[in-house]
């Protein structure tokens, strides 16, 4: 569902038009389920997070001042429900990964114009490879430190803005940018390793 359609549903619900109710519920059940499962990794928990989040959403719906930010608003509630579900905090401070670790290695030739990188060309057209890569992306998301995962899910999967993500997570926008960059680099590295293993003849270097 497009963002505009989602905002329209929120407006209708605020106006007391119940015909938007089931569409809104179906749409956000799938979204929150996916978010919770990727963030916490448990199916049973995800089902509970979905229901508790939506219950909170409808109880507080009149507090939604800006329907255009409904997605961020719902995810802020979902994040809080996830936090309560987990025994240990999923947002406990963790050490930042150093950028140097994520830079590609120089090629064996020592030539500064060569780096070790897979051939990423042709990827957009190759559907089989794309679906394999999505599995590698699942692994990358599951393995990365939670401070990075939480940002990547909101910024890149849910496509919230930097400001909305900062609001959901209760951190400043600089922290969102720093963490997002590391999250993307970690995911990229995993995908690159996967590509090099699956298309060994196509390495650039």
Partner 1 sequence: MAAHQHDENCKKMFSLLSEYLDMELPAETCKEMGSHINGCEPCAAFTESLRQTIELCRKYQSKELPGPIARDARQKLVEAYQKMLADRRS
Judged by the rule CB under 8 A, the positions of this chain that interact with partner 1 are 13, 16, 18, 21, 25, 29-30, 33-34, 37, 43, 46-47, 50-51, 54-55, 58-62, 99, 103-104, 112-115, 117-118, 120-121, 123-124, 130, 133-134, 137-138, 152, 156-157, 159, 162, 177, 180-181, 184-185, 187-188, 191-192, 204
Q: Residue 175 CB, nearest distance to partner 1 (Å)?
A: 13
Cβ-based burial of 159 (10 A; exposed 0-12, middle 13-18, buried ≥19): exposed
Q: How far is the CB of 197 from partner 1 (least distance, A)?
A: 15
Nearer to partner 1, 89 or 131 (CB): 131
Number of alpha carbons in the 13 Å side-chain half-sphere of residue 144 = 31
Query: Please, which residue, 11 or 114, has the CB nearer to partner 1?
Result: 114
Comparing CA positions, the residue from 138, 121, 137 lying closest to residue 191 is: 137
In the complex, what is the shortest distance from the CB of residue 1 to partner 1, in angstroms, rounded to a whole number? 14
| Least Å from the CB of residue 117 to partner 1 | 5
In SS3 terms, 70-95 reads as: HHHHHHHHHHHHHHHHCCCCCCCCCC
Q: Which is nearer to partner 1, 53 or 76 (CB)?
A: 53
| Angle formed at CA 97 by CA 95 and CA 98, multiple of 5 degrees | 120
Sign of CA dihedral 132, 158, 41, 27: negative
What is the rounded distance in angstroms from the CA atom of residue 205 to the CA atom of residue 202?
9
When the beta carbons of 1 and 123 are compared against partner 1, the nearer one is: 123
- Least distance from partner 1 to the Cβ atom of residue 62, Å: 5
With residue 140 as reference, give the H or E element that holds it: helix 127-143
Q: Which is nearer to partner 1, 68 or 163 (CB)?
A: 163
């Amino acid at each position: 569902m497009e963002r505009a359609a989602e905002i329209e549903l929120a407006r209708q619900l605020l106006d007391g038009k119940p015909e938007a109710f089931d569409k809104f519920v179906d749409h956000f059940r799938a979204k929150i389920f996916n978010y919770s499962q990727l963030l916490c990794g448990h199916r049973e928990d995800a089902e509970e997070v979905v229901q508790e989040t939506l219950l909170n959403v409808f109880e507080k719906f009149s507090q939604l001042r800006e329907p255009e930010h409904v997605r961020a608003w719902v995810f802020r509630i979902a994040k809080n429900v996830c936090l309560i579900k987990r025994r240990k905090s999923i947002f406990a401070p963790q050490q930042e990964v150093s950028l140097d670790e994520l830079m590609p290695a120089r090629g064996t030739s020592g030539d500064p114009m060569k780096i070790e990188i897979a051939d990423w060309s042709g990827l957009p057209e190759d559907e089989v490879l794309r679906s394999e890569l999505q599995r590698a992306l699942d692994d990358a998301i599951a393995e990365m430190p939670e401070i990075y995962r939480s940002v990547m899910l909101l910024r890149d999967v849910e496509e919230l803005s930097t400001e909305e993500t900062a609001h959901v997570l209760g951190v400043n926008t600089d922290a969102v940018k720093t963490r997002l960059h590391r999250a993307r680099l970690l995911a990229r590295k995993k995908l690159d390793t996967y590509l090099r293993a699956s298309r060994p003849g196509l390495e650039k270097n």
